[in-house]
Amino acid sequence: MPTEATNDPIVRELSAAVRGRYTLERELGRGGMGAVFLARDLHLDRLVAIKVLPPELAVRPELRERFLREIRTAASFSHPNIVSVYGAEEANNLLFFAMAYVEGETLAERVRRQGPLPVPELVRLLQEVAWALAYAHGREVVHRDVKPDNILLERATGRALVMDFGIARSVAASGVTQMGETVGTPHFMSPEQAAGDRVDGRSDLYSLGVVGYFAATARLPFQGESAQAIMVAQISQTPAPVLSRRPDLPAPLVAVLERCLAKDPAARFARGEELVEALEQVQGRRVEVPPPIRVWTVRADQFFRNGLILGLMMPQALVRFSSERTHLAFTGIIFSVVVPALWLQIPMGMRELAQQGFSFGDLRHGVGAIDAEREAVLAAQLADPRFRRRRRRKLLTLLGGMVLAVSIIAMGIWSGEKRASGSYQVSSGMLLLMGIAGSVGMVCLVFTAATLASGGRMDRRMHRIWTGPAGQFLYRLGSWRLGERGGAGGPITRHGALTLLAGLERGERRSLGGCAAALERLEAELERLDRRERELVGALTEAKAGSPTHSAPVGQRQQQLLGDLEQARREVLDRRTAVLGGLENIRLALVRLKSRLGVPEDVEREVAEATRLLSP
C-alpha cells in the first residue's frame, strides 16, 4: 500500500508502527469498530489481517491495559473455529492486533449475496460457532458481540470461524459504545446485555440464536427506528416465529432456535456443548455423494434436457416456407442422429460408473441425496423475497421475448404471398427478421426452461427415470460385459473397493497381494459394527421402557446403565465412521491407480492405515 500517497492518518501511523515486520497491502474494511488491513508478515512470509481499534480505546492507560490483556487471552486460544490472534500492540495513539487472514467472506456478506442458508449449511454453521463459543466459555471468556459480521466463512472449506473475542468487553468498558456507534450490534444483543445486567456464556448463545434466525430467513427477529427501540424489543417482545418465514425448517431445528431465543437465560442451553448435541439430532448422518456420481448426474440432466429442447425447437417453419429438400434432410439428421447421440451419453456415463466400481444402488442413493440437497437449496432461496422477485422478473422478461418473437414470425407469414404450390413467398428483409426473431424466441425458450428447471421439479422427474426400472435397464445395458453390477446395492462406499480391485489388471492385483484380504476384513468389521449398533439400540429401548421406580439407588443404577449404553453406542458409531473412511480412502486410491494417476504404493499405504483400525 503506497502510504506516501495517502492522506489517511491511520494508514500512515500504522505503516510506521509495523515497519520492518509487516507491509500493508490493502484495506479490507472499516466500520465503527475500527479498520482492517491486509498485510504480509515479512519474517514468516504469510498474509495476516491487522485490525486497528478506534482511537477512543487508546485515550486512557487503564483501558489500553485492559484491551491488551483481553486480546492476549484471545491469542492463547487454539481452536479450528476461532480466528487465530498472533498478538496485540500499542503505538502512539493506536491499538492494533494481528490475526490470521481467512480467505472468504463474513456470514453477513454471504446472506446478502445468496440469501438464506440451506438447512445442512445452517446446521453446520450453528454447530461450529457453538463449538467455538463452548471453547471460549470453558476459559471464562464471553464474546459479547456474536453477530454475522464477526463470523467468517472460509471459501475453500465452508468452515465457520469466530473472530473479535475480547474486543466487545473492552469497548464496553471504555464507555465509547454510544448508540449508533456499534452498527447492527443491538439486533444481536441478549435481553440481559441490553438491560445492562451481568452476562455469561448463555448471552452468547442467545446472540447465536439471533444469528441462526438471520441465516435461516435473511431477516432479523427485531427491527426498530433506533438502537434503543431494538434493545427494548430484545427485552420485552417475542419475535415472529421462524417457521412462518421459513416453512421448510425441520421441527427440531426450530425448537433449537426458539430455545436459544428464550428471554430467561435459565431456559436456554446451559453450555455450547448442549447446543451442539441438540443440533446433532436435527438430521441424521449426511449421505456423501462420490464425485463421479455427482458429475454423471449433472451431465445426464444436461444431455436429456438439451436433446429434448433440440427436438422440440426444430425450425419447422422454414421447411414449410421452402421447397428445398436440404431442410428436410437437415431435420431428419437432427431427429435420427443428434438427439439419440445426446441421450446415448447417459448409459455411456453409467458404464463409466460401473468401470469405477459403482453399483446401481450406489447411483440410486447418490441421486436421491443430490435431490435432497437441491430441495434444501431451493427452499432456502424461496424463503428470500428478493430471490422470488428476481425469479418472477426473469420469467416475465423471457416470456415477453418469446411472445414478441412469435408475433414477428406470424406477421411475416401474414405478409407473405401464397404461391400456387401452397408455400409462401416472403421478402428477403422479412425473412431475415423472422430468422432473428426465431433465434431470439429459441434463446428465450431455452432460458425459460432452464429457469423453471432450476426449481428442481423437472430434474426430479427425470431422476425418477434414472433411479427406477428404466434406469436399472439402462445401467445394465451400459455395463454390458463388465460383470453383474446392476443389483440394488448398499451404502455408497460398500463393496466399491473390492469391485475396483477385481477390475485391475492381473499384474497390478498381484502387486497388491494382501489388499483383497484386508478389504474383506474391513467389510466384515463393518457388518459386525452394524449388528452391534442394532443390539445397543435395542438394549437402550428396553432400558428406557422399564417401569419407573422411586428408589434412589435403583434409579441411579438405571441412569448409569443408560449412560453406559449410550457411550458404547457412540463408540461403535465413531469406529464405524472410521472404518467407512478407511474403505473410501482405499477406493479412491484404487480409482487413481486405475486412471494411471496413482501408484500401487498409495493403495498399500491406505490399506495399512485402514487395517490399523482392526486392531483392538
544 confidence band (pLDDT: 50, 70, 90)? low
145 assigned to active site = yes
The percentage of residues in the chain with a pLDDT greater than 70, rounded to a whole number, is 69
> What's the fold here for domain 104-280?
Transferase(Phosphotransferase); domain 1 (1.10.510)
Residue 319: pLDDT above 60? Answer: no
Q: Confirm if 486 and 474 have CB atoms less than 8 A apart.
A: no
Catalytic site residue from 8, 41, 45, 145: 145
**Smallest Cα–Cα separation from 189: which of 243, 233, 248, 158?**
233
Comparison of pLDDT for 603 and 581, the residue scoring more: 603
The percentage of residues in the chain with a pLDDT greater than 90, rounded to a whole number, is 15
Mean pLDDT, range 470-479, rounded to an integer:
78
Residue 478: pLDDT above 90? Answer: no
Q: H or E element: which one contains 232?
A: helix 227-236
E runs forming strands in 420-467: 424-425
Mean pLDDT, range 493-512, rounded to an integer:
68
Residue 583: pLDDT above 90? Answer: no
Looking at residue 440, its pLDDT comes to 58
Mean pLDDT, range 331-344, rounded to an integer:
68
Residue 313: pLDDT above 90? Answer: no
Single pTM value for the model = 0.58
Residue 454: pLDDT above 60? Answer: no
Mean pLDDT, range 500-514, rounded to an integer:
74
Mean pLDDT, range 58-64, rounded to an integer:
68
Looking at residue 182, its pLDDT comes to 36
Residue 320: pLDDT above 50? Answer: no
321 confidence band (pLDDT: 50, 70, 90)? very low
401 confidence band (pLDDT: 50, 70, 90)? low
129 CB neighbour count, 10 Å cutoff: 29
Comparison of pLDDT for 484 and 450, the residue scoring more: 450
Q: Ramachandran region of residue 175, left (φ > 0), alpha (ψ -120 to 50) or beta?
A: left
Looking at residue 13, its pLDDT comes to 80
Looking at residue 445, its pLDDT comes to 61
User: Please, what is the average pLDDT of the chain?
Assistant: 75
Looking at residue 517, its pLDDT comes to 80
Q: Ramachandran region of residue 250, left (φ > 0), alpha (ψ -120 to 50) or beta?
A: beta
153 confidence band (pLDDT: 50, 70, 90)? very high
Residues 22-49 have pLDDT tens digits of: 889 888 887 656 788 999 988 888 899 9
Looking at residue 110, its pLDDT comes to 92
Q: Confirm if 543 and 576 have CB atoms less than 8 A apart.
A: no
Looking at residue 2, its pLDDT comes to 54
Looking at residue 578, its pLDDT comes to 78
Query: Grid coordinates representing 518?
Result: 484386508
* Intrachain domains 3-100 and 104-280 with the same fold: no
**Smallest Cα–Cα separation from 366: which of 471, 492, 494?**
492
What is the Cα 394 distance to its own chain's centre? 25
Q: Confirm if 234 and 189 have CB atoms less than 8 A apart.
A: yes
Residues 199-254 have pLDDT tens digits of: 889 999 999 999 999 999 999 999 888 888 999 999 999 999 998 888 878 888 99
Looking at residue 285, its pLDDT comes to 45
Beta strands 94-100 and 417-418: pairing type? Answer: unpaired
Mean pLDDT, range 443-456, rounded to an integer:
56
**Smallest Cα–Cα separation from 449: which of 306, 316, 338?**
306
Residues 117-140 have pLDDT tens digits of: 988 889 999 999 999 999 999 888
165 confidence band (pLDDT: 50, 70, 90)? confident
Strands laid side by side in the 104-106 sheet:
104-106, 151-154, 160-162
Comparison of pLDDT for 183 and 10, the residue scoring more: 10
Binning the chain into helix, strand and coil, the percentages to the nearest 5 are 65, 10, 30
Looking at residue 538, its pLDDT comes to 74
Task: Return the residue matching grid coordinates 483481553.
Answer: 70
Looking at residue 488, its pLDDT comes to 37
Domain layout of the chain by residue ranges: 3-100, 104-280, 291-478, 509-614
Residue 558: pLDDT above 80? Answer: no
Looking at residue 175, its pLDDT comes to 45
Q: What spatial distance separates the first Cα and last Cα of the chain, rounded to whole Å? A: 58
504 confidence band (pLDDT: 50, 70, 90)? confident
Residues 361-373 have pLDDT tens digits of: 778 777 877 877 7
CATH number for region 3-100:
3.30.200.20
Mean pLDDT, range 56-69, rounded to an integer:
70
Looking at residue 270, its pLDDT comes to 92
Task: Return the residue matching grid coordinates 432400558.
Answer: 543
**Smallest Cα–Cα separation from 22: which of 51, 56, 53?**
51
**Burial (CB count <10 Å: 0-12, 13-18, 19+), residue 127:** buried
Mean pLDDT, range 285-292, rounded to an integer:
65
Comparison of pLDDT for 507 and 225, the residue scoring more: 225
Mean pLDDT, range 580-592, rounded to an integer:
77
Looking at residue 179, its pLDDT comes to 34
533 confidence band (pLDDT: 50, 70, 90)? confident
